[in-house]
Structure 1
Amino acid sequence: MLHKEFSFIKANIQHLEKENLKVSKGNLGWHLDHSLKVINSVYENIKESKPADYEKEFNLLRLLTFTLGSFPRGKVKSPKRVLPPEIILKEDVENQLGEAIKNLEIIEGFDENQFFTHPLFKQLNKKQTIKFLGLHTNHHLKIVKEILK
Structure 2
Amino acid sequence: MSIILTKMLFKIEQHIPFESKTNAEISKSTVGWQLDHALKVINSVSAQAINSDPGSYKSSFSFMRIALFKLGFFPRGKARAPKAVRPPEIIVEAEILKQLQTARTYINKLEILPENAYFNHPMFGMLNKKQTLRFLEIHTNHHLKIIRDILKS
**TM-score using structure 2 length:** 0.95
How far 1:55 sits from its partner (Å)? 0.6
Q: 1:3 to 1:44 in 2, by over 3 A?
A: closer
Equivalent in 8, 12, 17 of residue 9 of structure 1: 12
* Paired residues for 1:75-94 under 5 Å: 75-94=78-97
Partner of 1:124: 127
Moved beyond 6 Å, runs of 4+: none
C-alpha separation in 2, matches of 1:53 and 1:7: 34
C-alpha separation in 1, matches of 2:62 and 2:13: 34
Query: Structure 1 residue 37 and structure 2 residue 40: aligned?
Result: yes
CA offsets per residue over residues 112-132 of structure 1, 9 Å max, x none?
A: 001000010000000000000
* Paired residues for 1:20-99 under 5 Å: 20-99=23-102
Give the match's secondary structure for 1:74: coil
How far 1:3 sits from its partner (Å)? 2.2
C-alpha separation in 2, matches of 1:71 and 1:139: 7
Aligned residues: 149
* Paired letter, 1:113: N
Partner of 2:140: 137
C-alpha separation in 1, matches of 2:81 and 2:128: 21
**TM-score using structure 1 length:** 0.98
Structure 1: runs of 5+ lacking an equivalent: none
RMSD: 0.7
Give the match's secondary structure for 1:123: strand
Structure 2: runs of 5+ lacking an equivalent: none
